[in-house]
Amino acid sequence: MSRPRRLNLPAPARVTAGSDGRPVLVEGREVEAVRESWLVEDRWWTAAPLRRRYWEVLVAGGRNTVVFRDLEDGAWYEQASA
């Protein structure tokens, strides 16, 4: 039997950010507008804390997407249903 799988797992994304941390390019597409940004901090009491800065952005071509920067390792990810 297969094991249960988590849905909405983040996928690594190529994001270029400006000096203020805002995403400027997502997967090579220019960011036209930032719709919302929020911070998620969790499990700060454990050895594996979770700290993410989420950005909901509109990229060239009209696609709405959510990316986040992992504040622990500095990597960028794209995530559906955020």
Partner 1 sequence: MAGPAALAPEPGREQLVGEVSAAAEAAGVRPGMRLGEALSRCPALALVPPDPVAVNDAWEDVLARLESVGAAVEPGAPGLACFDARGLRRLHGGTLDGVVAATRAALRRPARIGAGPSRFCALAGASRARARRAEIVAGADDLASEPVALLRHCEQTAHLPVVLERLGIATLGALAALPRAAVADRFGAPGLHARELALGRDTPLRPRTPGERVEESLTLPESASGPQLERALALLIDRLLARRDRRGRMVRAAVLSAVLVEGGTWRERVVFREATSDPARMRLALSGRLMTMPAPAEALRLAVDRFGPPPGASGALFSDGTQQRRGRLREAVRQARAAAGPDAALRVLETDPDSRVPERRALLTPYE
Which CB atom, from 48 or from 61, has the smaller least distance to partner 1?
48
- Residue 53: CB atoms within 10 A of its CB come to 19
Q: Which residues bind partner 1 (CB under 8 A)?
A: 1-2, 4-10, 40, 42-43, 50, 79-82
Which CB atom, from 24 or from 80, has the smaller least distance to partner 1?
80
Which CB atom, from 25 or from 70, has the smaller least distance to partner 1?
70
- Sheet containing 29-42: order of strands: 11-12, 76-78, 63-70, 50-59, 29-42, 23-26, 15-17
The distance of closest approach from Cβ of residue 46 to partner 1 in the complex, given in angstroms and rounded to an integer, is 8
Cα 67–chain centre separation: 3
